[in-house]
Structure 1
Amino acid sequence: MASHWIWQQPDWPTFNWQADRLAPLLRECVQAQGQLIGMAGSVDASLNAQNELDALLQNIVTSSAIEGEQLNVGSVRSSLARRLGLQLTEGDHVSQRSEGLAQLLLDATQHFAQPLTVPRLLEWHQWLFPDQGTDFAARAIRVGALRGDEPMQVVSGRLDRPTVHFEAPPRAGLEQQLETFLVWFDSTRHQPDLDPLLRAGIAHFWFVTLHPFDDGNGRLTRTITDLALAQGEAQAIRFYAMSASILEDRSGYYRVLENSQKGTSDITQWLEWFLQTLLRSLQQAMERIESVLGKARFWQAHRASALSVEQTKVLNRLLDGGERGFENGISAAQYQAVAKVSKATATRHLSELLEKGCLKRLPGGGRSTRYQIRYPDASTE
């Protein structure tokens, strides 16, 4: 194991990276980002609002899940919906926890033009821990204040022989270290020779390495990343949730952080992981919007088709895609189960949907015949 943490390097916090190694990945991310923003521009405003709500919700829930905390999704959704001026789901209890997390992410992304300062960070920390007496905080922490004097370590394993994965810089001088980070964050916002996506990756790594609070460092780091990404795009609307992609490779996230924090000031490996994860997040968001657009085009093409309630219900299930278990189409027996109709009615409904061009029959026949959505051609809309 290296004898030095990165913050003990003589050139800390001057980071460097191999630009040529990152260039192809960076190009792909910038392209995907532009494509996503373009696609979102062609979506109806109410669908866009729903898309944004889904992305923000996913971001909050998964950022907490990375830390092992399961949030009440309904409560978080209600907090976000109210702040975005959307319809609330009746009967959802809204907790102080949800309110704080919604306020935190929306402050970072909607007020991206405001400078990031120590008072703003301390306020964010208070929103993260709105009521100290609750059971999500396993130990007493200083809320809205920097961490105490005891060493800040990330450890695992046995109590008598712990493995130290990371140790943060000592408490003495932490204010100055944080100030250096914030000055850099502010001064690089419009720096032409630093790509905004690399800036977001550096900010993520630098802040999580400082680990300035007793608890909540990971969540605040990811909030700062969202702020940096919003600044780079110069828009408050979020259509992708980077925390969700980090959660998908949580062990990889911790591994690459640990390797880089024990390494030299060359953070190429970290930035490579960061950009790959960001790219995956952008691609998933494009797939989601593509499916929203596909669904809208489908109903536009069939607005005059006289469909029964049961037929509409099944078509919506199919249009919602693979997550509902019908990624390989639907059989007559499944239609019968979903629509709650008799076998004869299911057969009749399916042949009507084929006739109206709503469905197409997949290869293979007999009782195992399956049917899939027939999307309208763009030219026939």
Structure 2
Amino acid sequence: MGTALTYESRRLPRADEPLYASRRQNLLRREPYTAAIPARIADIALDLSPDTLAEADDASAALVRFDSETTHFPAPFSAVLLRSESASSSQIEQLTSGTRAIAEAVIGERADGNAPLIVSNVRAMEAAIALADDISDASIIAMQKALLGDSAPDAVGRYRAEQVWVGGRLPHDASFVPPHHDRVPEAMADLVAFARRTDLPVLVQAAVAHAQFETIHPFPDGNGRTGRALLHAMLRHGGILRHLAVPVSAGLLSDIDGYFDALTAYRRGEADAIVQVFSSASLQAVDNARRLAAAMAALQAGWDSRLTGIRADAAARSIATATLEYPVINLATAMRATGASKPAVTNGLAQLVERGVLAPGNSKRRKRVWVNQEVLDALDAFVARAGRRNYAD
């Protein structure tokens, strides 16, 4: 049966009955519902097709090659990719925001909407990468805490202690009911043991671990984004990625239905599909990220040309490079990113406006910022390519 689920009958606690509900809902709540029991995978022998293994091998090689090219990319490109992965992962959960809004949230100039939540996902990704050498219950909980610690502090710091379900108002009519919470600790211990194995191809192992994590659904919230952060931790842990966080979630965006269908197939015992989905997403992510790197390198070369001949232009050049990471920038961020004094940064910003690299503006908080529209346009193009099944431009 491999990864196939089994099921058990459970009942909701009577004490949880709401005061205001229809008679039908209250009667239904008193009936048993069916919850999943995840397969044990710690010692599973994965039976994957040769084609699936070959594609995973090709994708792994592409990831390794791209990661090794990091010295050829613009200086802050690793941070740009990390943010792109975080935004794409959030978009899968229907948390969307414009590139300018996200850029404002990064520098503390926007506190409303989805943008701050997406920035929290960056922190979860950073935590995942920092903890990649220690795939454990504690590190996985730390990833989810980095994600939701600010927005939902009551939902972090532990695995869930209640039944959750996907779709429907009750588990009785849900599209998927993860395991009862009393099974979560044991299921996660089994998953951690699987993640620590050294006898499997890394991308295959990471894809299966992700699918198992989403099946267990160990947290009350943030499972999708935490599960994709775990994928990156495993790619780093396995040595596939050493310098960059390749935006694999951006690759998933071209076929979100296929991603969720693959999770469903995994729960039927068919592991090939989830490995194929992540292999394809990795290849597409590398292609898209390489295009973004080329676009940003071209922008930087164009700014250098525009800034040629400016007296005392060192701060201006440093600020221009910083806007690859901070396309909306304020004075404090520019000073921190460049290490230059306030007068030097103020003069550099004025030079960049004069030469058409930046435009002055106001943030959502009505504070003064400077905007690099060319970088925002390049990021928008990256997002547009990620959302198309086949792109050629």
TM normalised by structure 2 equals: 0.61
Partner of 2:140: 121
CA distance in 1, matches of 2:302, 2:257: 40
Report the residue type matching 2:129 in the other structure. Answer: T
- Point out where structure 2 has 5 or more consecutive residues left out of the alignment: 7-35, 311-352, 358-372, 382-393
Structure 1 segments (4+ residues) deviating >6 Å? 297-306, 309-313, 320-324
Deviation at 1:147, TM superposition (A): 2.0
Q: How does 1:271-310 map onto structure 2 within 5 Å?
A: 271-294=275-298
Shift of 1:238: 1.9
1:243 aligns with 2:273: no
Counterpart of 1:146 in structure 2 is 159
Task: Determine the C-alpha separation between the residues in 2 that align with 1:244 and 1:235.
Answer: 17
CA distance in 2, matches of 1:310, 1:79: 26
In the other structure, the counterpart of 1:169 is 179
Write the letter of the residue equivalent to 2:5: W
Q: Residue type of the partner of 2:122?
A: A
- What is the rounded CA distance, in whole Å, between the counterparts of 2:354 and 2:294 in structure 1? 25
Aligned to 1:211: 217
Residues 16 and 268 of structure 1 are in contact (CA less than 8 Å); yes or no, is this contact kept in structure 2? no
**Match in the other structure for 1:109:** 129
Structure-1 residue corresponding to 2:234: 228
C-alpha contact 2:41 2:191 (8 A) present in aligned 1? no
User: How many Å separate the matches in 1 of 2:99 and 2:295?
Assistant: 23
Say which is worse superposed, 292-301 or 175-184, in terms of deviation. 292-301
Deviation of 1:230 after TM superposition, in Å, equals: 1.7
Does residue 31 of structure 1 match 2:61?
yes
Cα 1:299–1:210 change in 2 (3 A) is same
Deviations 1:272-291 (A, max 9, x none): 12211111111211222233
1:227 CA drift (Å): 0.7
Instruction: Flag the 1:119–1:287 CA change in 2: closer, same or farther, 3 A.
Output: same
1:258, distance to aligned residue in structure 2 (A): 1.5
Letter in 2 for 1:287: R
Aligned mates of 2:93, 2:261 — CA distance in 1: 15
TM-score by length of 1: 0.63
Does residue 68 (structure 1) correspond to residue 94 (structure 2)? The answer is yes
Distance 1:99 1:317, change over 3 A: closer
Q: Separation in 2 of the partners of 1:220 and 1:278? A: 18
Question: Is contact 1:240-1:281 (8 Å) kept?
Answer: yes
Q: Classify 1:26/1:93 alpha carbon distance in 2 versus 1 (closer, same or farther; 3 Å).
A: same
Q: Contact (CA 8 Å) 1:57, 1:77: kept in 2 or not?
A: no
**Change in 2 beyond 3 A, CA 1:301/1:108:** same
Gap change, CA 1:32 and 1:147, over 3 Å in 2? same
**Could you tell me whether the CA contact under 8 Å between 1:128 and 1:216 is conserved in 2?**
yes
1:259 Cα deviation after fit: 2.5
Inter-CA distance 11–317: structure 2 relative to 1 (3 Å threshold): closer
Corresponding letter in the other structure for 1:288 = L
Q: Which structure has the larger Rg over C-alpha atoms?
A: 1
Cα distance in 1, alignment partners of residues 126 and 266 from structure 2: 30
Q: Which moved more, 1:250-259 or 1:34-43?
A: 34-43
Deviation of 1:10 after TM superposition, in Å, equals 7.1
Separation in structure 1 between the aligned mates of residue 57 and residue 40 of structure 2, nearest angstrom: 29
Deviation of the 1:32 alpha carbon: 1.6
Partner Cα distance (1:199, 1:116) in 2: 13
Question: By how many angstroms is 1:22 displaced?
Answer: 1.7
Question: What is the aligned-residue identity percentage?
Answer: 17
